[in-house]
Chain A
């Protein structure tokens, strides 16, 4: 079965310090992995995607994520947090199988950024 687990429901950092949002997945097939950000009362915006090319993926707004197959992880990082990064972040797994294509959303991690 396919699943995605975001290990922290919320993360709090100070402005200017690094951000780490953790995501682990399980999939019987090679998955595509995505990170999305959602600001209040808004839809989801794609930050970055992994689709079996380079394992270190760079996204928008200074975010990046590394696909580690041995650890089944796809953690999202940013060297220095900005106040504007405060939002909800979703890790998403997508893959095809004989039953069709399925997309699974993580439960989300809320990022708080302190001044």
Chain B
């Protein structure tokens, strides 16, 4: 149980392209979903927290116009990297959880490479 599916697993695209990443909880309803960015050999950096039907809460320093988050249902959240540039290349990971004191369940991540 508690499977989170993240798609696509890998994206390679040209600078200026917008890229959408999907995160789905397959067998549970997630009250909260999280989006992380991970640089090589580093820990996860929380970008934003999203709750179904409300606006995402972005961490300090994360541009909300650059990283658009939509959480349309209890099982789906999307992250759109708008007009991506090479510095946006990274490993993006989503997670979801049912309630506050329970563990987060992670997707397999998306490797984004902007040329």
Interface residues of A (CB under 8 A from B): 32, 34, 36, 41-46, 49, 51, 90, 94, 96, 101, 103, 105-108
A41 close to B109 (CB less than 8 A): yes
With a cutoff of 8 Å between Cβ atoms, the chain A residues found around residue B93 in the complex are: 43-44
Q: Is B43 an interface residue (CB 8 A)?
A: yes
**Residues A106 and B111 in contact, CB atoms below 8 Å apart:** no
* Partner among B43, B101, B108 whose Cβ is within 8 Å of the Cβ of A43: B108
From A41, A45, A96, A105, contact of B100 by CB (8 A)? A96
When the two chains form the complex, which single residue of A46, A106, A107 contacts B103, counting CB atoms closer than 8 Å? A46
How far is A107 from B103 in the complex, measured between Cα atoms in Å? 18
- Can you sample 23 A-B contacts with CB below 8 Å? A34-B103, A36-B106, A41-B91, A42-B109, A43-B6, A43-B93, A43-B108, A43-B109, A44-B44, A44-B93, A44-B106, A45-B106, A46-B105, A49-B103, A90-B43, A90-B44, A96-B100, A96-B101, A101-B100, A101-B101, A103-B104, A105-B43, A107-B43
